[in-house]
């Protein structure tokens, strides 16, 4: 799609900055939404539109006449209160949709999360049809935003939703840095029970581009990677780089116990200790495995093994930590 124009919200984030780099490499014209305070890094060549998801005029000029709108901007409970999560992820998505409708923008590719789907039990693998009852404000907000996008797609417009699993790659101080510390740091002796699907950031970027080009209007696509227990993931990281794998599995009961404590502290003190409540604590100890078969068959999506993503990610981790 060389010569086409894309608008990217969340362009200054972990995933969005990688998407912008790739779009520029592939010859797209790229417009990025940036808040005045955002760190735009060294993304040269992006046409920045400065404002936020609640600045209607900026949003309209961002999406005006573009071929594809990649809506990635969002917040999670790691960096925002439940109220802000709902406002940014739901109302912000509504504003992007309104701007697209108003300016007749091309296809909307919305980035949700695999968390709105869940395996029926601990031995199964979830696909797009396994719609879950949301746990916590983040999943709830993404599920609501998905409905808005689905309604937009049904109303003779053009939109697809992608559901990345846990994204691994340079620049992510949250999940990636924590997982690497479990595989590399002798001072980090514990790993979590349960398991997850780990997908490299470059694979998710491929999936976003494939969804823009080959996705079917109104459809949802899980963009996952390898399904690994934490134990497997941590051992593979350690083996690949001669690190010190975390050897002690945190007992599930300890994590389950932490949920009510955080919940009680939050309600009594009015302070959010960490993004934990009882239900999230239960979820943290399960195997949350996902199938990317639909994306593979319909979009040509492929993911690479964890080891392929380690060199650049470990280089980043070592330079930053
Ligand atoms: N990382 C994962 O493992 C993962 C997994 C599944 C789904 N996702 C989804 O993928 C998307 C990108 O995630 P990420 O990991 O790249 O997150 P990130 O690094 O935290 O980036 C979030 C982006 O959203 C922007 N943003 C937040 N609030 C905004 C507002 N009010 N107005 C305008 N922009 C705003 C941020 O701008 P600033 O730079 O100014 O903060 C940043 O550019 C999110 O929707 C996330 O829910 C992520």
Cβ(240)–Cβ(147) below 8 Å: no
SS3 letters for 260-274?
HHHHHHHHHHCCCCC
Q: Which of 13, 88, 90, 162 to mutate to test the pocket of ligand 1 (most atoms within 8 A of CB)?
A: 13
Inter-residue contact 92 to 74 (CB < 8 Å): yes
Mutate which of 15, 70, 148 for ligand 1? The one with the most ligand atoms within 8 Å of its CB, which is 15
Q: Ligand 1: which residue has its CA nearest to atom 1?
A: 167
Residue of 256, 300, 299, 118 whose CA lies nearest to 197: 118
CA of 253 from ligand 1 middle (Å) equals 32
For residue 79, is pLDDT > 70? Answer: yes
pLDDT, position 198: 97
Q: pLDDT exceeding 90 applies to what percent of the chain?
A: 71
In this predicted structure, what is the pLDDT of residue 8? 98
Report the C-alpha gap between 105 and 100 in whole angstroms: 5
Residue 209: CA count within 13 A, CB half-sphere: 23
pLDDT in tens, 205-218: 999 999 999 999 99
Q: Residue 153 pLDDT > 90, yes or no?
A: yes
The band of 193, judged by pLDDT with boundaries at 50, 70 and 90, is: confident
152 vs 261: which has the higher pLDDT: 152
Q: Per-residue pLDDT for 282 more than 80?
A: no
Task: List Cα–Cα distances, 183 to 197, 212, 288, 318, in angstroms.
Answer: 16, 35, 20, 13
Per this entry, what is the length of the chain?
Answer: 321
Determine the average pLDDT of the residues in 176-200. Answer: 82
| Structure confidence by residue, pLDDT tens digits, 34-73 | 999 999 998 999 999 999 999 999 999 999 999 999 999 9
Per-residue pLDDT tens digits for 246-261: 666 666 666 666 556 5
Residues in a beta bridge with 8: 32, 70
Q: Is the pLDDT of residue 115 over 80?
A: yes
Please identify which residue in the block is written with the tokens 């917040």: 75
**Domain 5-172+196-226+289-304, what architecture?**
3-Layer(aba) Sandwich (3.40)
- Residue 77: the pLDDT is 86
What pLDDT, on a 0 to 100 scale, did the predictor assign at position 231?
86
* pLDDT value at residue 272: 54
Range with the poorest average pLDDT among 159-168, 221-230, 279-288:
279-288
Say which residue the tokens 């894309």 belong to. 6
Pocket probe mutation, ligand 1, options 74, 93, 175, 178, max atoms within 8 Å of Cβ: 74
- Ligand 1: residues with CB < 6 A are 10, 12-16, 33, 35, 38, 52-53, 72-76, 88, 92, 111, 113, 164, 166-167, 175
Q: Averaged over 99-111, what is the pLDDT?
A: 97
Ligand 1 atom with least separation from CA of 75: 27
**Per DSSP, what are the bridge partners of residue 231?**
none
pLDDT class for 242, splitting at 50, 70, 90? confident
Domain ranges of the chain: 5-172+196-226+289-304
Average pLDDT, the chain: 90
Angle between helical axes of 230-241 and 306-320 (0-180°, round to 10): 70
């Amino acid at each position: 799609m060389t010569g086409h124009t894309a608008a990217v919200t969340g362009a200054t984030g972990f995933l969005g900055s990688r998407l912008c780099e790739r779009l520029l490499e592939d010859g797209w014209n790229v417009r990025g939404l940036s808040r005045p305070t955002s760190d735009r890094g060294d993304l040269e060549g992006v046409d920045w539109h400065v404002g936020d998801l609640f600045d209607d005029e900026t949003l309209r000029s961002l999406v005006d006449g573009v071929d594809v709108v990649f809506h990635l901007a969002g917040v999670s409970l790691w960096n925002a209160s439940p109220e802000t999560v709902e406002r940014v992820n739901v109302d912000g998505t509504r504003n992007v949709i309104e701007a697209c409708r108003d300016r007749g923008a091309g296809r909307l590719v919305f980035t949700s999360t695999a968390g709105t789907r869940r395996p029926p039990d601990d031995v199964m693998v979830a696909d797009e049809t396994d719609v879950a009852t949301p746990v916590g404000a983040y999943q709830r907000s993404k599920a609501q935003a998905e409905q808005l996008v689905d309604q937009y797609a049904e109303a003779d417009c053009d939109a697809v939703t992608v559901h990345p699993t846990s994204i691994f790659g340079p620049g992510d101080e949250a999940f990636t840095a924590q997982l690497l510390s479990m595989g590399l740091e002798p001072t980090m002796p514990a790993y979590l029970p349960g398991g997850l699907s780990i997908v490299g950031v470059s694979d998710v970027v491929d999936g976003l581009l494939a969804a823009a080009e080959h996705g079917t209007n109104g459809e949802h696509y899980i963009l996952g990677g390898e399904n690994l227990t934490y134990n497997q993931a941590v051992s593979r990281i350690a083996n690949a780089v001669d690190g010190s794998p975390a050897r002690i599995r945190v007992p599930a009961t300890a994590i389950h116990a932490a949920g009510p404590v955080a919940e009680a502290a939050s309600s009594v003190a009015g302070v959010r200790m960490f993004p934990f409540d009882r239900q999230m604590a239960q979820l943290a100890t399960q195997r949350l495995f996902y199938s990317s078969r639909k994306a593979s068959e319909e979009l040509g999506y492929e993911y690479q093994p964890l080891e392929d993503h380690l060199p650049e990610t470990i280089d980043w981790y070592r330079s930053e930590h």
